[in-house]
Amino acid sequence: VTDNTEPISSAMSPAAPDPYPYPVSFQISLTGFLMLEILLGLSSNLTVLALYCMKSNLISSVSNIVTMNLHVLDVLICVCCIPLTIVVVLLSLERDMALVCCFHEACVSFASVATAANVLAITLDRYDISVKPANRVLTMGRALALLASIWVLSFASFLVPFIEVGFFAHDHAELNQTVVENGALSNEYYTEPGLYYHLLAQIPIFFFTAIVMLITYSKILQALNIRIGTRFHASQKKKARRMSLLIVSTFLLCWTPITVLNTVILSVGPSNLMVRLRLGFLVMAYGTTIFHPLLYAFTRQKFQK
């Protein structure tokens, strides 16, 4: 008589979970958009930086130094941050992804804070040169000090997620060990509420930058209305209004969705759906690496000449 009964342990064991946290269609679509952003963002920003360096007269002004700083940041985002997002989207949960996820959160924190701070610096420079062109407040020395403080703030925001992981590992050592044994460390990382406190630094700087942009560009348009002569008044006024609207709306459209979602995550806690939405909104936010050269460099008359 042959024994055809299966062991109780194998019969009652649950099915093996899918090692990939996201559907294939989701992975393909996000990876495609991210690769496109790397290609277009790198090519356009490197072109702008190369043209700036080829023309020494462009580097001598405060406005161009501030603008170049934004393009350097966009190159860093295309080289470091976006590829790491692709890794997070494609790699399976069977691998130890805790360090990768931590680096990814650090890069997202760095990109969001640095982008908002650099856009804010450009906004203040435009206000300074439009409202007080004869007596500028932002001199070369002050501009360099401002840019240095922006980089310090950005790298500080990069370190915050690592500090969070340290406190999380200390307070929940047993939970981390269990998660490692179950092979789901990446998913646990992204659904642990205690690892999202670094968003408290990203959210205020976005809203502060957005408010300052709205107020500043309205004042810039008012100043241009006074200074523009009667001959080209209509065309120049229309062009200035259109460019101001494009600059403000691009920043708001790209970064508002992920900022609002970050606020929701801090309020109600993360979930698997929110993690997927956040990756999708992050693709939108990275789109500024493509738009910045179009808005701040290629449309400028001095740069075109």
- What is the full DSSP assignment across 255-269? HHHHHHHHHHHHHH-
Per domain, the residue ranges of the chain are 45-304
pLDDT of residue 234: 66
Lowest mean pLDDT among 75-89, 113-127, 151-165: 151-165
Lowest mean pLDDT among 82-86, 92-96, 124-128: 92-96
Separation between Cα atoms, residue 265 and residue 111, nearest integer Å: 19
CATH class of 45-304: mainly alpha
Separation between Cα atoms, residue 8 and residue 57, nearest integer Å: 79
Segment 7-61, tens digit of pLDDT: 444 444 444 445 556 789 999 999 999 999 999 999 999 999 998 888 766 667 8
pLDDT of residue 179: 40
Q: What value does the mean pLDDT take over residues 96-121?
A: 90
pLDDT band for position 78 (50/70/90)? very high
Segment 260-284, tens digit of pLDDT: 999 998 888 888 888 899 999 999 9
The residue with greater pLDDT, 241 or 40, is 40
Tokens (6 digits) for 86 = 């692709």
Q: What does pLDDT average to over the chain?
A: 80
Segment 166-178, tens digit of pLDDT: 755 554 444 444 4
Q: Which residue has the tokens 């420079």?
A: 125
Q: What value does the mean pLDDT take over residues 108-120?
A: 96
The residue with greater pLDDT, 15 or 98, is 98
Residues 6+ apart with CB under 8 A from 130: 220, 223, 224
Q: Are 126 and 300 in contact (CB under 8 A)?
A: no
pLDDT of residue 303: 44
- Percent of the chain predicted with pLDDT > 90: 46
pLDDT of residue 63: 86
The residue with greater pLDDT, 191 or 275, is 275
Q: What value does the mean pLDDT take over residues 90-113?
A: 82
Q: Which residue has the tokens 């790397």?
A: 38
Residues 6+ apart with CB under 8 A from 165: 98, 102, 195
Q: What value does the mean pLDDT take over residues 89-111?
A: 81
Q: Are 298 and 304 in contact (CB under 8 A)?
A: yes
- Percent of the chain predicted with pLDDT > 70: 74
pLDDT of residue 134: 72
Burial class (CB in 10 A: 0-12, 13-18, 19+), 221: middle
Count of Cβ atoms closer than 10 Å to residue 283 Cβ: 21
Separation between Cα atoms, residue 199 and residue 259, nearest integer Å: 9
